[in-house]
Structure 1
Amino acid sequence: MSNITKIKGLLVNQLTSKPIAISAIDFPTLRSMVKFTSREAQNYDPFVPIKDVSQVEKEVKNSYYQRLTNDKRVSNIYKFLLKEISNIYSSKTNALGSFPTSVIISLDLNQEFDTKKEYLEFIETAKKEEYIGAYYENFENNVELSVPDGKYGLIVDGQHRLMGMIKLYNDALNNSIKIGRKALTDEYPKLTNDLVLDYIKQFEFNCTILLGFDKWEQGKVFADVNFNQKPVNKSLYYDIFGSYPDPNKNDIFLSHMLAMHLNNNEDSVLKGFIKMLGSGKGYFSQAFFVEAILSHFRPKSIWASMPMDYLNDGDDYKILPKFFKSYFKATKEVFNEFWPKEDEDTSRKYPNILCKTTGMGALIKLIDPIYRKLKINADLKTISSGDLTTLLKSELEKAESKGKEFFSKEGDFSGSGSLGLQNKLYIELAKELGYIKK
């Protein structure tokens, strides 16, 4: 196998069961050892027996937690670095070209060998693709890591900083640095590509290294940094925490599974309607849809017991995919005039609101009184999907005459999709269906 990179640092005591180290790692070393990843929407249906197990296993194995890098942020970091290189080269006292917050990276740990000697002997004979993790030695909290050459580190936080520097490094290497449309010497006459390269090669990143954290634990760290400390796409949050069962977040887990089912199942009228990870084609975001469903899993709500039933492989939760598919199928059949047409395949092309945030938000709220009423007279566990759709249609048809007023682009609720507007539409629907007195 190839060479070993040695990294020295300190172990830090935090509220974790696994070791965390801090270290200063120079740019060439960090660039060579980490790979860039991004989370992608999973395409399997969690409520249908899996035919191609290997494909699903591959999707789950390669399921990361990072968002895609943003070109504008990378470009801003690129420009920032150039400005600060110019400042330090010109000996200006306002040169502050630093990244004081840590780049957080994660390394797998080797648990198989008792001594470093055994580890190194195995590394020498191991195949290149046979990565067995890093080895670390601890001397009174001074840590030395031995990391096989290759892109085995995952960036938990700091992708944009490193990507900005890599872009600048590559452009300097190819004599192609640009600031907008200007060449390097037009903006910074004293700088050369070689000079920029020298500064970048010497740059050290302040790094926090998570040792032996699995992807779920890495995702939790990522979420803590990005959702508690700075704003980020909420759909990404729900996708991360909805992908693994966790006793403290089993409601998110179940909501995410339902969203995947409705978006991926061939028999779902909502197939392809959800913007998984918050972007791409679709009419409403994953974050909105998951949050709307979550309201029914709260204490005293209609499905309060379902998340734990699902987590414990019970039977009660199995009504949910059937109910949701029947409910939205009934909605489509009753209000078909306002359902997206084939050529209205994006939210911009689709003029009505039935399948946008306002309409969907009101319809999901409406599930509560409809479900409570239906379960009094029907066994919703054993009822067929067809019969359930018929029952739901008989309820929704009471509001069919108000379809234009409720769901068209000219109607009273065509607007921004705010929670207030969703609630107003829900109230009017509930009145029309007889769940609230007029």
Structure 2
Amino acid sequence: MRTRPLKVALLGCGVVGSEVARIMTTHADDLTQRIGAPVELAGVAVRRPSKVREGIDPALITTDATALLKRGDIDVAIEVIGGIEPARTLITTAFEHGISVVSANKALLAQDGAALHAAAEQHGLDLYYEAAVAGAIPLVRPMRESLAGDKINRVMGIVNGTTNFILDKMDSTGAGYQEALDEATALGYAEADPTADVEGYDAAAKAAILAGIAFHTRVRLDDVYREGMTEVSAADFASAKRMGCTIKLLAILERAADGESVTARVHPAMIPLTHPLASVREAYNAVFVEAEAAGRLMFYGPGAGGSPTASAVLGDLVAVCRNKLAEATGPGESAYTQLPVSPMGDVVTRYHISLDVADKPGVLAQVATTFAEHGVSIDTVRQQGRPDGVGNEASLVVVTHRAPDAALSGTVEALRKLDTVRGVASIMRVEGE
């Protein structure tokens, strides 16, 4: 066994970084045996050096991350800063100085993954990022290594714990969105500013990364269609239950039937209670992968938090260190298919549409005609009086058959223009059937 330690620079020491440092210290002997050489925390770059960091030698703390990377003795850098800058510059600096990188930075990888992979390849180094998607769940490595010989056709998953917690509370308790968000905030699941989570930006970044791996093509954050979940209401859950469904914020990645394009999208959707994702509760994540030979696979577990995310980081660290000892590198970017990403309008799906309409004869026929004019077939219709007791209005719920999303969107716009339609109360896609 090699006796000279592999030296690690830790960039960032927040919730995840501090847990990485703790595990590296407390499990040092086990890590040595698993890697084949000692691994040593050689420096920790932070913004606030005065902050007390229990278990970390103050002598390791520095505010100059660039100088730490340029020391000349660092083997691996762990980037858990997050955001685009200075993370991008620091990762590039690491590669320029012969340092492999382990990152948990979903936003950066979704935006500039291709350039970072190219830089790693140019310098003969590793870029690993299991922790960037779904926390502790082993997902990136199984998809890009274990399923490397298979053809993945579809990936559908819950990849944000905050939104799943909120939607689960709305489903199980009947709470409204704001009430469920307040509980998530009080318990520490939601940030003070939850926009990245509830508007789907976090999930969209993860979707871009997963789509690139699944389909061997480059998918950027801008390619992912995104809708948030702030408009989901208790009434939507009541409708979902009548259909035997629940509501989840889903990342859905699909290869077209002809194999010539892919789609990537994030939005709330109704899914049947019989689907495996319907039973994912609280702040857990789960990803459902459909592959040609392997069939349907489910990956489930805690998708965020210091310890779960640190677990994924340390798994990557072990792999990268082993590669260093073997003077080899692991798998890099696979984008040979160069498939285009189709717009959301090309996606074929079902809709659940709730309308507030005039309560008078002929309304249903007028609505049905509008659907027919746009080539959208209706599956079921339910009409009832308004629950708020408005006597001259009714609630009309329409569930469609599968149709292109563009046709469904066009139908909704036409419905809004009808004199008999007072308003479109809710629009939601139906998936997983």
TM-score (norm 1): 0.25
Higher helix share: 1
| Structure 1 or 2: more strand by fraction | 2
Higher Cα radius of gyration: 1
Normalising by structure 2, report the TM-score: 0.26
